[in-house]
């Protein structure tokens, strides 16, 4: 005997206006939480909390630890610092009444004098309105600058000299057109992802912005200029690709000795052709992947015998190394261009030029391994890195509890934020914005 079927009550679908209200309310909570996130990022960056083993910047730390795209991470760091001088935009962002998209756009041109005006546009318009105003304002400023172009063209120059310590000092004055090309090239060379960034269109974009780094910006530009030189020497026609990664990028004559290159050697320095001297460890780094000529001299420095040049890493092994490592292997590093092949046991100390003794490192981390006291060993699971205190550097970021939407709402309420479904909706009623009048109003505040 079978039991009669029982009709269980089914849950009726939620009404659309309820879903809409929850979306807009939750969006406002997220805006407020994003403000809090940026405040924490600014403090974390100012106190260099990211300055752990081998990290290049706060943006790189966010990329590694929080899974934020490098371009979006840079933009968050930029906006976080900009908000420190913009109290009115910060307050609106803190209360969840403006989105990160609007704030990101406003902070490109905002000053304490014009933030009131920008907030009027943000309160009454969409993110598209704010983006268009900022874009048009910057366009007007560029047009004004064209009047000075002829004077700048006449003053262009570039000079260099070798300082007393052997350092090269370069000074240049370029026209806006020349400067734009050079600066864009330097920005692109500062990091492998820079070419994908600029004026991020969305929170998850990978477009570049200002990125405070572990080294001063001027020092990073010096490194970028070296990368540009590498790219020039590796241009098509020179027998290698435009992104040269090792071997004969160009010829820099370093006069050293086996004792200088040995790990337990006693010689402190080697000499470049210009007469400048570099440390023994710098010599070992330069010799990791280079052409080597055995050159015998007498006591007066005259050549007695010059051997054939050999490549420390043959092209076939380099291709296999590139295929295996795909870029810098230092934990958390995403660089895959302008990388060096590092001998884990230096060839000057008897290390073999084979895959088990090689690892790809970017210039920053290659220097850390040689001159910075960091270490690397090859294990069955891949390279293992240690910091200067011999502690192992974790190969991946820790996984942590990320919180939930209920905790987010509770936290915002605990700090006195009154957020509902109307909080983040602008007062725009569909009217068209007068772009000319909007830009003129912003110009008058300068």
Q: Tens of pLDDT along 97-140?
A: 899 999 999 999 999 999 999 998 888 888 888 999 988 888 88
Q: What's the rounded Cα separation, in Å, for the pair 188 and 228?
A: 9
- 434 versus 88: the higher-pLDDT residue is 88
Q: What's the rounded Cα separation, in Å, for the pair 102 and 93?
A: 9
Percent of the chain whose predicted confidence (pLDDT) is above 70: 72
Residue 198 has pLDDT above 70, yes or no: no
Predicted confidence (pLDDT) per residue in 205-242, tens digit: 444 444 444 567 788 788 888 888 877 776 544 434 44
Q: Do 3 and 44 meet the contact criterion of CB atoms below 8 Å apart?
A: no
First to last CA, the chain: 88
Split at pLDDT 50, 70, 90, the class of 305 is: very low
| Per-residue model confidence (pLDDT) at position 196 | 36
Q: Do 374 and 387 meet the contact criterion of CB atoms below 8 Å apart?
A: yes
Q: Model pTM? A: 0.53
């Amino acid at each position: 005997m079978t039991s009669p079927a029982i009709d269980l009550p089914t849950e009726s679908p939620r009404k659309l206006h309820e879903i809409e209200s929850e979306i807009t309310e939750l969006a406002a909570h997220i805006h407020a939480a994003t403000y809090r996130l940026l405040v924490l990022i600014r403090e974390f960056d100012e106190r260099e909390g990211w300055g752990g083993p081998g990290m290049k910047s706060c943006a790189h730390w966010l990329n590694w630890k929080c899974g934020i795209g490098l371009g979006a991470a840079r933009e968050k760091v930029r906006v976080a610092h900009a908000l420190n001088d913009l109290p009115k935009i910060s307050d609106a962002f803190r209360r969840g009444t403006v989105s990160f998209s609007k704030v990101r756009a406003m902070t490109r041109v905002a000053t304490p004098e014009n933030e009131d005006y920008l907030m009027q546009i943000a309160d009454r318009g969409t993110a598209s309105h704010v983006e268009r105003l900022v874009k048009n304002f910057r366009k007007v400023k560029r047009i004004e600058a064209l009047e000075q172009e002829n004077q700048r063209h006449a003053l262009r120059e570039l000079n260099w000299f070798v300082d007393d310590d052997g350092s090269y000092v370069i000074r240049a004055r370029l026209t806006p057109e020349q400067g734009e090309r050079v600066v864009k090239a330097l920005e692109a060379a500062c990091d492998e992802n820079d070419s994908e960034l600029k004026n991020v269109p969305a929170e998850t974009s990978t477009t570049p912005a200002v990125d405070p780094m572990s080294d001063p910006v001027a020092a990073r530009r010096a490194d970028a200029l070296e990368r540009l030189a590498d790219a020039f020497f590796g241009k098509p026609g020179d027998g290698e690709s435009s992104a040269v990664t090792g071997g004969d990028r160009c010829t820099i004559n370093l006069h050293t000795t086996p004792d200088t290159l040995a790990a337990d050697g006693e010689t402190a320095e080697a000499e470049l052709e210009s007469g400048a001297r570099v440390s023994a460890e710098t010599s070992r780094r330069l010799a990791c992947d280079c052409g080597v000529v055995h050159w015998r001299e007498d006591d007066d420095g005259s050549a007695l015998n010059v051997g054939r040049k050999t490549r420390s890493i043959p092209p076939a092994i380099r291709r296999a190394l590139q295929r295996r490592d795909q870029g810098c292997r230092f934990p958390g590093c995403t660089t895959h261009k302008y990388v060096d092949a590092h001998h884990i046991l230096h060839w000057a100390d008897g290390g073999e030029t084979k895959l088990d003794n090689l690892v790809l490192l970017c210039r920053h981390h290659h220097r850390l391994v040689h001159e910075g006291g960091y270490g690397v060993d090859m294990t069955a699971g891949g390279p293992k890195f240690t910091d200067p205190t011999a502690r192992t550097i974790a190969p991946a970021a820790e996984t942590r509890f990320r919180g939930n939407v209920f905790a987010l709402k509770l936290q915002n309420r605990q700090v006195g934020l009154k957020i509902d479904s109307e909080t983040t909706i602008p007062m725009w009623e569909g009217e068209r914005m007068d772009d000319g009048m909007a830009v003129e109003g912003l110009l008058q505040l300068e």
